[in-house]
A and B are shown apart, each in its own frame.
Chain A
């Protein structure tokens, strides 16, 4: 089986600072995997290079055999990569329903229509309700997005990304800033969505329960370089990783 996403010797520097150093790895279709590492290890920067928000200095990023380097975020999205952001990237002054609906209208190529009221676009509406149902946000659909609890805003961000039916979904710290109960709920939900939407999922996370609870593969970044890659058990027992990052946590 071919990998769905393949990074080959990706490098990126900001001035003299190497933020990504010779990173290579392959993500297999259907896999759920985690990227961990201390703050400043270059995890989000790596995501930014995959989604076209930053361009690597050298190396190759292949997605389903397409070279992503040089493509704009718009193009990369249409290739089938979705992303939810570290700080929920939503439309704060619109209702929860409209937040998802704009994504549905985008997917159906209907954002160009300027005559009929939004409510008459039944397919987009039905699709949006179905997504909100899956996220457990259906009851909040008429509230404005900025009124939602922090955790629900992050779910909404994931929902917006899911609408486009990505083959690969990147989640940047999906449980950051959540209460323990919210984390538990989000962990279950992400696992459920991964199965229901047949996603390949890569997530950045500091919550070790989530990392070792649901990831099949764990990759560890340190100072921009890939320190280790393996199953949760292998990573847990990797002396380098333990001394560099996990430390006394385990």
Chain B
């Protein structure tokens, strides 16, 4: 019980530090740009954490979560463009309902096949959505994307929007974390490790997979829709396979087996891109090399390795006190 209380206390402290650090960004920043960077970290962090519920937790490597990320953004973009900025918030909600429906239907299809076939099918659907958005110029704006997406008046101040975003992202991550440590979360981890045994507990593997697929897609869509208000513009790239790929890289970088791993991975990746991008135009090459090196040296990911070091230290000190 004491252990329990102590770990609850530690978790609460970590949450407080995380929220406080992000909450202080507008106060301490020296330029607007830093706040914009923090927005990107929060949104990609949410996207990566939601993606990791699929891959790290359940073992379903989707290469097409960009589909839902893009859909979230385009629901907001298109509705604001055609109906006005009053539709910004309703568009987020409508987009989530639409994504729930679509991910349910697509999920029924893609979950029937496992392993690499699941990965390929999700990639195919993601690319299909990208093609449609790219080609359907009259409706989606094609390669031009959508510019000038205005949030409603009370959210137009970037600092207000930043806090709006911060609150939604933190609530979402908290909700996902609760799910990860609920009976459902344990069920998902068990499905990854031994689906046959799960079936022989009388439980349905595919139904649980479908459920987490929908949940993960919903939060990906929320991340996408929030992005529409950050730069006031969106682009077809949000549907492109590199977006799905980036979120996979972030998860690997941060650590698949840690809940906050993908969030840290997203932060590190975005900051690296920013620093190196300002320094050389060959930033992609250098980031690729850095990621390769980190994966080779820290196969458990940044958070995974840190946790490993922490357990080693506590083991050592326990051994010494004996």
A interface residues, Cβ below 8 angstroms from B: 51, 72-74, 77-78, 83, 89-94, 98, 101-103, 105-106, 110-119, 121, 124, 160, 164
Interface of B, helix, strand, loop or mixed by DSSP: helix
Write 22 A-B pairs (CB below 8 A) sorted by A numbering.
A74-B199, A77-B201, A89-B200, A91-B193, A92-B194, A94-B186, A94-B190, A98-B186, A102-B186, A102-B187, A102-B190, A102-B198, A106-B201, A106-B202, A111-B186, A111-B203, A114-B182, A115-B182, A116-B183, A118-B186, A164-B201, A164-B202
In angstroms, Cα B129 to Cα A236, docked, is: 70
In angstroms, Cα B203 to Cα A167, docked, is: 18
In angstroms, Cα B178 to Cα A119, docked, is: 12
Determine the chain B residues whose CB is within 8 A of the CB of A77 once the complex forms.
200-202
Are A90 and B200 within 8 A (Cβ)?
Answer: no
In angstroms, Cα B199 to Cα A212, docked, is: 33
Contacting B179 at CB < 8 Å: which of A98, A110, A114?
A114
In angstroms, Cα B201 to Cα A101, docked, is: 11
Query: Which 6 pairs between the two chains have the least Cβ-Cβ distance?
Result: A114-B184, A77-B202, A106-B201, A111-B187, A114-B182, A89-B197
User: Which residue of A is nearest B193, CB measured?
Assistant: A91
Are B189 and A111 within 8 A (Cβ)?
Answer: no
Determine the chain B residues whose CB is within 8 A of the CB of A93 once the complex forms.
189, 193
CB distance from A199 to the nearest CB of B (A): 17
Contact of A94 with B200 at beta-carbon distance under 8 Å, contacts A113-B182, A116-B182, A117-B178 already known: no
User: Which residue of B is nearest A161, CB measured?
Assistant: B200
In angstroms, Cα B201 to Cα A78, docked, is: 8
CB distance from A155 to the nearest CB of B (A): 15
B196 beta carbon closer than 8 Å to chain A:
yes
In angstroms, Cα B200 to Cα A164, docked, is: 10
In angstroms, Cα B204 to Cα A121, docked, is: 21
Are A51 and B182 within 8 A (Cβ)?
Answer: no
Are B193 and A94 within 8 A (Cβ)?
Answer: yes
**Contact count A vs B, C-beta below 8 Å:** 87
Are B182 and A101 within 8 A (Cβ)?
Answer: no
Are B194 and A110 within 8 A (Cβ)?
Answer: no
CB distance from B207 to the nearest CB of A (A): 9
User: Which residue of B is nearest A112, CB measured?
Assistant: B184
Contacting A101 at CB < 8 Å: which of B186, B200, B203?
B186
In angstroms, Cα B175 to Cα A220, docked, is: 55
Determine the chain B residues whose CB is within 8 A of the CB of A98 once the complex forms.
186
Determine the chain A residues whose CB is within 8 A of the CB of B203 once the complex forms.
74, 106, 111
In angstroms, Cα B185 to Cα A123, docked, is: 18
CB distance from A198 to the nearest CB of B (A): 20
In angstroms, Cα B179 to Cα A119, docked, is: 13
CB distance from A201 to the nearest CB of B (A): 17
Determine the chain B residues whose CB is within 8 A of the CB of A160 once the complex forms.
197, 201
CB distance from B303 to the nearest CB of A (A): 16
Determine the chain A residues whose CB is within 8 A of the CB of B184 once the complex forms.
111-114
- The proximity string for B residues 171-185 relative to A, scoring 1 for CB distances below 8 Å and 0 otherwise, is 000000011011111
In angstroms, Cα B177 to Cα A181, docked, is: 44
In angstroms, Cα B181 to Cα A124, docked, is: 15
- The proximity string for B residues 134-167 relative to A, scoring 1 for CB distances below 8 Å and 0 otherwise, is 0000000000000000000000000000000000
B4 beta carbon closer than 8 Å to chain A:
yes
Are A118 and B193 within 8 A (Cβ)?
Answer: no
In angstroms, Cα B194 to Cα A92, docked, is: 9
Contacting B200 at CB < 8 Å: which of A51, A110, A118?
A51
Determine the chain A residues whose CB is within 8 A of the CB of B201 once the complex forms.
77, 102-103, 106, 160, 164
